[in-house]
Amino acid sequence: MDKRLSTLAEAVSRIPDGATVMIGGFGGSGAPVELIHALIDHGARGLTVVNNNAGNGHVGLAALIEQGRVDKLICSFPRSADPQVFTEAYLAGKIQLELVPQGTLAERIRAGGAGIPAFYTPTGFGTDLAEGKPVEEFDGRSYVRERWLKADFALIKAELADSHGNLTYRMAARNFNPLMAMAAETTIVQATRIVELGGIDPEQVVTPGIFVSHVVEVADAAQEEMLNRAEAVYP
Amino acid sequence: MDKRLSTLAEAVSRIPDGATVMIGGFGGSGAPVELIHALIDHGARGLTVVNNNAGNGHVGLAALIEQGRVDKLICSFPRSADPQVFTEAYLAGKIQLELVPQGTLAERIRAGGAGIPAFYTPTGFGTDLAEGKPVEEFDGRSYVRERWLKADFALIKAELADSHGNLTYRMAARNFNPLMAMAAETTIVQATRIVELGGIDPEQVVTPGIFVSHVVEVADAAQEEMLNRAEAVYP
Amino acid sequence: MSDIQDIKLSNAQIAWRAAQDIEDGAYVNLGIGFPEMVARFQPEGRQAIFHTENGVLDFGKAPEKGEEDWDCINAGKKAITIKPGTAFFHHADSFAMVRGGHLDVAILGAYEVAQSGDLANWSTGKGGVPAVGGAMDLVHGAKRVAVLTDHVTKTGGPKLVEACTLPLTGVGCVTRVYTSLAVVDIEDGHFVLREKIPAISLDELQAVTGARLHLDGAVGELIAPEELA
Amino acid sequence: MSDIQDIKLSNAQIAWRAAQDIEDGAYVNLGIGFPEMVARFQPEGRQAIFHTENGVLDFGKAPEKGEEDWDCINAGKKAITIKPGTAFFHHADSFAMVRGGHLDVAILGAYEVAQSGDLANWSTGKGGVPAVGGAMDLVHGAKRVAVLTDHVTKTGGPKLVEACTLPLTGVGCVTRVYTSLAVVDIEDGHFVLREKIPAISLDELQAVTGARLHLDGAVGELIAPEELA
At D2, the pLDDT band (50, 70, 90 cuts) reads low
In this predicted structure, the answer to whether residue A48 has a pLDDT above a threshold of 90 is yes
| pLDDT for the residue C128 | 84
CA distances (Å), origin B5, targets A200, B16, C44: 33, 19, 55
Number of domains in chain D: 1
The predicted-structure confidence for D76-135, as pLDDT tens digits, reads as follows 999 999 999 999 999 999 999 999 999 999 999 999 999 999 999 999 888 889 999 999
Rg (CA), chain D: 18
Q: Concatenate the DSSP letters of all residues of D39-107 into one string.
A: GGGPPTT---EEEETTTEES-B-PPPTT---TTSB-TTS-B-B--TT-EE--HHHHHHHHHTT--SEEE
Find chains touching chain A: ≥3 CB pairs under 8 Å.
Answer: B, C, D
Distance of alpha carbon D191 from alpha carbon D205, whole angstroms: 12
In chain C, helix, strand, coil percent, each to 5? 20, 30, 55
Contact assignment for B103 to C95 by CB distance below 8 Å? yes
Residues of D belonging to the active site: 53
Q: Is residue D229 in a domain? A: no
Angle between helices B102-114 and C91-99 (to 10 degrees): 120
Tell me what the mean pLDDT of segment B89-98 comes to: 96
Distance of alpha carbon A220 from alpha carbon C201, whole angstroms: 65
| pLDDT for the residue D171 | 97
Residues in chain D: 229
Separation in Å, CA of B138 to nearest CA in chain D: 23
At A195, the pLDDT band (50, 70, 90 cuts) reads very high
Find chains touching chain C: ≥3 CB pairs under 8 Å.
Answer: A, B
- Work out the widest C-alpha separation in chain A, in whole angstroms: 55
Query: What is the CATH classification number for the domain harbouring C73?
Result: 3.40.1080.10
| pLDDT for the residue D4 | 85
In this predicted structure, the answer to whether residue A14 has a pLDDT above a threshold of 70 is yes
- How high is the mean pLDDT of chain D? 95
Bond into B235 cis (ω within 30):
yes
Contact assignment for B178 to C169 by CB distance below 8 Å? no
Amino acid at site B138: F
Among chain C residues, CA nearest to B158: C71
The predicted-structure confidence for C71-129, as pLDDT tens digits, reads as follows 999 999 999 999 999 999 999 999 999 999 999 999 999 999 999 999 999 998 888 89
How are beta strands D56-57 and D112-114 bridged, if at all?
A: unpaired
Distance of alpha carbon D104 from alpha carbon D50, whole angstroms: 10
Task: Inform me whether the C-beta atom of residue C132 falls under 8 Å from chain B C-beta atoms.
Answer: yes
Contact assignment for B97 to C94 by CB distance below 8 Å? no
- Work out the widest C-alpha separation in chain C, in whole angstroms: 52
Distance of alpha carbon C80 from alpha carbon A22, whole angstroms: 36
CA dihedral sign of residues A64, A67, A70, A75: positive
Nearest alpha carbon to residue B79 among B62, B96, B60: B62
Nearest alpha carbon to residue A159 among A147, A175, A183: A175
β-partners of residue C218 are: none
Tell me what the mean pLDDT of segment A38-57 comes to: 97
Distance of alpha carbon D59 from alpha carbon D15, whole angstroms: 19
Distance of alpha carbon A64 from alpha carbon A33, whole angstroms: 10
Residues in chain A: 235
Tell me what the mean pLDDT of segment C43-60 comes to: 96
What is the domain range of residue C199? 4-224
Contact assignment for C25 to A209 by CB distance below 8 Å? no
Work out how many CB contacts closer than 8 A connect B with D: 66
Buried b (16+ CB within 10 A) or exposed e, D42-53: beeeebbbbbbb
In this predicted structure, the answer to whether residue C45 has a pLDDT above a threshold of 90 is yes
| pLDDT for the residue C3 | 84
Neighbours of B213 (CB within 10 A): 19
The predicted-structure confidence for C198-213, as pLDDT tens digits, reads as follows 999 999 999 999 999 9
CA distances (Å), origin C80, targets B80, C64, C71, C103: 17, 10, 9, 20
The predicted-structure confidence for C127-163, as pLDDT tens digits, reads as follows 889 999 999 999 999 999 999 999 999 999 999 999 9
| pLDDT for the residue D94 | 98
Distance of alpha carbon C199 from alpha carbon C181, whole angstroms: 9
The predicted-structure confidence for A92-102, as pLDDT tens digits, reads as follows 999 999 999 99
Distance of alpha carbon C9 from alpha carbon C229, whole angstroms: 7
Bond into A235 cis (ω within 30):
yes
Distance of alpha carbon D24 from alpha carbon D15, whole angstroms: 17
Residue among D57, D84, D92 minimizing CB distance to B208: D57
Active-site annotation holds for C53: yes
At D62, the pLDDT band (50, 70, 90 cuts) reads very high
Contact assignment for C85 to A208 by CB distance below 8 Å? no
Distance of alpha carbon D107 from alpha carbon D35, whole angstroms: 6
Tell me what the mean pLDDT of segment A98-121 comes to: 98
C38 in Cβ contact with C18 (< 8 Å): yes
Task: Inform me whether the C-beta atom of residue D27 falls under 8 Å from chain B C-beta atoms.
Answer: yes
- How high is the mean pLDDT of chain A? 97
At A83, the pLDDT band (50, 70, 90 cuts) reads confident
Angle at A183 between CA A177 and CA A185, to 5 degrees: 115
Among chain B residues, CA nearest to A143: B117
In this predicted structure, the answer to whether residue A72 has a pLDDT above a threshold of 70 is yes
Neighbouring residues of D206: CB distance < 8 A, sequence distance ≥ 6: D212, D213
Distance of alpha carbon C158 from alpha carbon C161, whole angstroms: 6
| pLDDT for the residue C2 | 60
Nearest alpha carbon to residue D31 among D138, D151, D143: D138
| pLDDT for the residue B231 | 96
Neighbours of C167 (CB within 10 A): 18
β-partners of residue C215 are: C193
The predicted-structure confidence for A133-153, as pLDDT tens digits, reads as follows 999 999 999 999 999 999 999
Q: Concatenate the DSSP letters of all residues of C118-182 into one string.
A: -EE-S--SSSS----TTHHHHHTTSSEEEEEE-SB-TTS-BSEESS--SPPSBSS---EEEESSE
% of chain D at pLDDT higher than 70: 99
β-partners of residue D81 are: D60
A59 in Cβ contact with A33 (< 8 Å): yes
Nearest alpha carbon to residue C169 among C138, C215, C197, C205: C138
Q: Is residue C229 in a domain? A: no
Give chain A positions within 8 Å (CB) of C98. 115
Reported ipTM: the value is 0.97
Helix (H, G, I), strand (E, B) or coil at C186: strand
B214 in Cβ contact with B5 (< 8 Å): yes
Q: Which candidate in C23, C36, C44, C53 is catalytic?
A: C53
What domains sit in chain A, N to C, each tagged with a CATH number? 8-118+150-229 (3.40.1080.10)
Distance of alpha carbon C98 from alpha carbon C107, whole angstroms: 12
Q: What is the 3-state secondary structure (H, E, C) of chain A?
A: CCCECCCHHHHHCCCCCCCEEEECCECCECCCHHHHHHHHHHCCCCEEEECCCCCCCECHHHHHHHCCCEEEEEECCCCCCCCHHHHHHHHCCCCEEEECCHHHHHHHHHHHHHCCCEEEECCCCCCHHHCCCCEEEECCEEEEEEECCCEEEEEEEEEEECCCCCECCCHHHCCCHHHHHHHEEEEEEEEEEECCCCCCCCCCCCECHHHCCEEEECCCCCCHHHHHHCCCECC
